[in-house]
Each structure stands twice: as structure tokens, then as C-alpha cells.
Structure 1
Amino acid sequence: MTASAANALLAAPDLAQTLGGIAFWAAFLASHVILFAVTLVSVSKAKLSPRCRKRWIWLVVLAPGIGIILWYASGRPAVRNGA
């Protein structure tokens, strides 16, 4: 067996693993972007004072992971007030 044939046999599993990793991270990024957009729309439509709305938007934009978690963990004011 030549060196190029041996490299070709070793490259196939590595390629599958690499493509799987790329697909995983692409799906993870896409879901995070969608969740970020949905959260911003939810904040903008909530019945909040303009000052409070600005604070929530800044929190979600500047610290997306924490901001998104806090927005949904806080019970979203529109849902909590029965709107």
C-alpha cells in the first residue's frame, strides 16, 4: 500500500468527523441567532415603560446568554400581568 492510499483511508473518518462538527456548530449558531431575534421581538412587544424596555434590550444585546435567560426566567412582564 502506498503512502497516498494510506492517507486516503485515514482521511475519510476525519472528514466525516469534521463535517459533523461543522454541522453541529452551524445548527447551534443558527438556533442562538433565532432565539436572540425572538427575544428582542418579545422585549419590544412587551408592555413595559420605555426606560425598562431600553434596559432589557441593552442587556440582551450586550450579554446575550445572560440577557435571554433572565428575560425568560423573569416571567416576561406581559405574560405575568395576564396580557
Structure 2
Amino acid sequence: MSFSFAVGRLMTFPEKQHLRQLIRDLPPKNLDRVVQIFCRGKQVERHSCSEVYVDLENEDKATLWRLYFYTETVENAKRLREV
């Protein structure tokens, strides 16, 4: 699925569940990029904390798809390294 095609539609509930799992399974070094994607184009207060809560139900579709493709790319790279 291409990025331009995906951002044109809403993410389904099963896709959001899969995205949640992909985010949970990310290596810690990749979580900073997830936060950058969430904060893109938003006014966000900077806090020093170890946890970030994001409600995927309230995120715009472009952000969700950016996250989805980023997390899928990281997951695929992990699988390739294991081979």
C-alpha cells in the first residue's frame, strides 16, 4: 500500500490495534522518532518524562499513517537483521 493512497482514507480499528502493538514492540532507540511524528505541526509543551500517552482515536489520519509506515519499516528491518 502506498503512503499517498493510505493517507486518503481513515485507519480501521484493527489497523489501529496493530499500530498500537507495533509501537509497543519498538526498540527504545526508535521511540524518539514516534514522538516527533506525533508532535509534527503541533504546539506541544516539552516535558522531561519517560512515558508519553497518545489517544490514537483523536489523531488525524495522516499522522496515524506516518506512524504505521514508520513502525512497519522498523519491524521489517528487525526481521531482516534476524535472518
Higher relative contact order (CA 8 A, sep 6+): 2
For the pair shown, the structure with the greater C-alpha radius of gyration is: 1
Structure with more of its chain in helix, by fraction: 1
Q: Confirm or deny a common fold (TM above 0.5).
A: no
TM-score normalised over the length of structure 1: 0.40
